[in-house]
Structure 1
Amino acid sequence: MRVTAALRSTKRSPLLQLVKSAVATLGAWLLAGWLIPGPLPVFAAIAALLVVQPSVNQSFAKALERSIGVIVGVVIAVLLSLLLGPQSWVVLLAIVVAMLVAWTFRASTGTGNQVAISAMLVLALGSSDPDYAVNRILETLIGVAFALVVNALVVPPVLTAPARRDLGLLGTELAASLDRLAAALLSTQQPAQLHELMLEARLLRPMQASAEASIAAGEESLTLNPRRSAKGEVAEMRALFDRLSPIVTQVIGMTRAFFDHYDDTLADEPTVHAIAEQLRRAGHDVRLAVQVADIAPEPSAETSAIPALTAPLQVKPPASGHWILIGSLMEDLRRIRGELVGDE
């Protein structure tokens, strides 16, 4: 792995996130310094800096992690200092004890690290005075509370745009895959064309994963967010994704079956022509579903507002030796219809 990959992100965090972190850190420092005179309010500043996260939900989780970690770490530091005295090696012992306590209670990695860091800072910067310990806990809580308020009030981000983009791309490519498979069923295919068709179908998987991750991020950005006007929009995108995901599986399976059982006489089978027509209709209805949800990257002028899938396809047993492939395609087509039309 390149060193730069570990040090640099693929993209910058939003400037607004930097501004919120700066405002929360400076505000927590000034407020804690005013309310609790004494040492520099380092604990408040650190708490505020760590608690400001991309979403209110993440900030709340980080606030709990920070608060519990500091309280436990400070208590461990004070107890060890009272028992063993102000020795320099007590700092090292406190770190080890804090890590063991976190491990014993199965604390998360962030909470465990916070316990150890807090114990170390109290002993390295402060004393064994219980009042000092209580003040550091209060200072941390001030920083946490101030950061939560800032992150909730200063334009909390609602991450719907990436979800809209990725879901639209998935739906568009899924419809294109249905059209490609329909065209391939009716024409003679070379080995290279079959491999290309299979590769394009498999590329639906990473697009599906990307859309799912974006929708999950959008849902998380709305949790505990006072700006919840986009909640219905994200719920609609989740519902559409749940409809499209099984179709992704069926399309990949149909393409795999076609790849495995292809021969040059397949296009002469009358039932194959009917299946190809149903695939084109399914592709139309996938595009229609994406456009109705208003997430299509580029609406197609060829898409009618009326669904193309009407009566289920009824076929007779094939007269040729293609019955295995046709049976497989028919079953997958039935499942696609069930997702798009609701018929089972």
Structure 2
Amino acid sequence: MPVSFRFASAVRADRRLPLVLLSKAALATVAAWVITGAILPGSPPVFASIAALLIVQPSANQSATKAVERSVGVTAGVAIGSSLGLAFGTQPWVVPAAIVTALLFAWILRMTPGVSNQTVISAILVLALGVSTPGYAGARIVETIIGALIGLTVSVALAPTVPVAEARERVDALGLEIAATLDRLAEAFENKHSAQELEGMLLTARLLRPMREAATTAMKAATDALTLNPRAPRYRDQLAQLQDLLERFSGIVIQVIGMTRAVRDHGPDDLAREPASPAIAEQLRRAAHDLRLLTSAPDDMVAPDEEPALTRPLQIQTPSSGNWALIGSILVDLRRVHQAITDPL
């Protein structure tokens, strides 16, 4: 990889920050500078502006976490820096000693990296900007708290919409791909497939795992956006249903991959001739049908059926002696898929 490309990827994001987030950060920073300067005249409100800037995050919950980190880190750092400065004055070794002390303090208390870094930065700033000024340390702590409150207020007041649509899209995509995998399995029980085709079927089924992870990540982002969000009540029920659906799909992913692997490993060339294969193929297609009904897929993606799927009893003829283990394994997994689909939401 060229050095220039690696450097560019290190400093540039895949996409720009949302303009709303940029506007919130600018508003919070400017408001913290103006308001704190009016409340605490004298020193420029640097701590307040930095606090407000760092606290504004994509969600109000993340902003609240940053506010706590910032306030705790500044309080600890100012206390450490002020204590060393008042005790030893402006000796050249005071700042290095403050850095080491702040790092050890954060390590002993098992503080997060954000709090640890803020503690060190605050200790350095308080020593560099005015430890000898009476009341300076206390004023900087108050200033930081004001900036944190302003940043948090802006984040909550201008909270972004909850990304329910993205979460639903990811969950629906997972459900539809599971249904497609079940259809491919049904095809394997209906027609003869080569070893290469069965291997490709298994590789495709394994792609359900990253899709499940993507859906889980989208759900976590949507759930996180609910905290301290004024719009939370209108989305809470939707996200609860999506979470239940994702849990169902996650369990089915395991069963579907297992069934596909079993067919790849143990399925004979004449699997379609097995007496039980037509009934199993029918149940696989019915399971795929019902999975599509659980998603928000358009009506034309759901095959018409006069009666609900998976309601007809599965009648299996005695499998041949060489395939009884495979058929039994498929039936067990089918039962689990059936249970996951038909359990009430």
Which TM class, normalised by the smaller chain length?
over 0.9
Counterpart-to-counterpart distance in 2, 1:29 and 1:106? 32
C-alpha contact 2:77 2:118 (8 A) present in aligned 1: yes
Q: 1:121/1:6 Cα in 2 relative to 1: closer, same or farther (>3 Å)?
A: same
Deviation at 1:318, TM superposition (A): 1.2
What SS does structure 2 have at the residue aligned with 1:339? helix
Count how many residue pairs are aligned between Structure 1 and Structure 2. Answer: 339
Instruction: Give the aligned CA root-mean-square deviation in angstroms.
Output: 1.6
Counterpart-to-counterpart distance in 2, 1:305 and 1:122? 76
Deviation at 1:105, TM superposition (A): 0.5
Matched, 1:279 2:280: no
Deviation at 1:327, TM superposition (A): 0.6
Deviation at 1:78, TM superposition (A): 0.8
What SS does structure 2 have at the residue aligned with 1:158? coil
Matched, 1:179 2:183: yes
Letter matched to residue 262 of structure 1: G
Letter matched to residue 137 of structure 1: I
Letter matched to residue 287 of structure 1: R
Matches within 5 A, 1:153-302: 153-228=157-232, 229-291=234-296, 296=297, 300=301, 302=303
The answer for the alignment partner of 1:318 in structure 2 is: 319
- Equivalent in 71, 90, 93 of residue 94 of structure 2: 90
Q: 1:275/1:111 Cα in 2 relative to 1: closer, same or farther (>3 Å)?
A: same
Percent of aligned positions that are identical: 50
Counterpart-to-counterpart distance in 2, 1:305 and 1:238? 29
Tell me the TM-score normalized by structure 2.
0.94
Unaligned runs of 5+ in 1: none
Counterpart-to-counterpart distance in 2, 1:303 and 1:14? 42
Matched, 1:32 2:36: yes
Deviation at 1:194, TM superposition (A): 1.1
Counterpart-to-counterpart distance in 1, 2:184 and 2:9? 38
| Post-superposition CA distance 1:9-42 (Å, at most 9, x none) | 1121211000000000000011111100111111
Matched, 1:308 2:313: no
Deviation at 1:218, TM superposition (A): 0.4
Deviation at 1:94, TM superposition (A): 0.7
The answer for the alignment partner of 1:127 in structure 2 is: 131
What SS does structure 1 have at the residue aligned with 2:276? helix
Deviation at 1:300, TM superposition (A): 1.3
Q: 1:224/1:124 Cα in 2 relative to 1: closer, same or farther (>3 Å)?
A: same
Letter matched to residue 36 of structure 2: A
Give 4+ residue runs of structure 1 displaced > 4 Å after superposition.
Answer: 303-306
What SS does structure 2 have at the residue aligned with 1:230? helix
Matched, 1:340 2:345: no
Matches within 5 A, 1:145-160: 145-160=149-164
Counterpart-to-counterpart distance in 1, 2:123 and 2:136? 13
Deviation at 1:298, TM superposition (A): 7.6
Q: 1:64/1:312 Cα in 2 relative to 1: closer, same or farther (>3 Å)?
A: farther
Counterpart-to-counterpart distance in 2, 1:140 and 1:20? 18
| Post-superposition CA distance 1:69-99 (Å, at most 9, x none) | 0001000011101111122321121111000
C-alpha contact 1:165 1:297 (8 A) present in aligned 2: no
Letter matched to residue 269 of structure 2: D
Deviation at 1:200, TM superposition (A): 0.8
Counterpart-to-counterpart distance in 2, 1:234 and 1:271? 40
